[in-house]
Amino acid sequence: MSLLLDRLTSQLSQRMRYDKARKMAKGILIKRGQMNSDGSDTPSGMIRGMMTPEERAVDRAIKRFGGTYKDYEYSYDKNYAYKKKKLG
């Protein structure tokens, strides 16, 4: 079973019926290239599925703003990664 599919389905099912959320989640993951049409994870989907919430938040921030993992700090309360403030 795909960890990504389960997590995204859970998030979407808070706003819609489970079966509709599952179908939508599968479509999103296929479009992102993280899942094959048969429901199996792609290599990038397997990697993303094994990431911690912190790793996913930093990964999102790097994709959005650039930099490296060491440039960010993670807020557990907000599940968000912020750029570290530079000293000096």
pLDDT, tens digit, for every residue of 55-75?
Answer: 999 999 999 999 999 999 999
pTM (global) more than 0.85: no
* pLDDT over 90 at 88, yes or no: no
Distance CA 13, CA 54 (A): 23
* Mean pLDDT (whole number) for 22-40: 95
Mapping DSSP onto H, E and C, the string for the chain reads CCHHHHHHHHHHCCCCCHHHHHHHHHHHHHHHCCECCCCCECHHHHHHHHCCHHHHHHHHHHHHHCCCHHHEEEECCCCEEEECCCCC
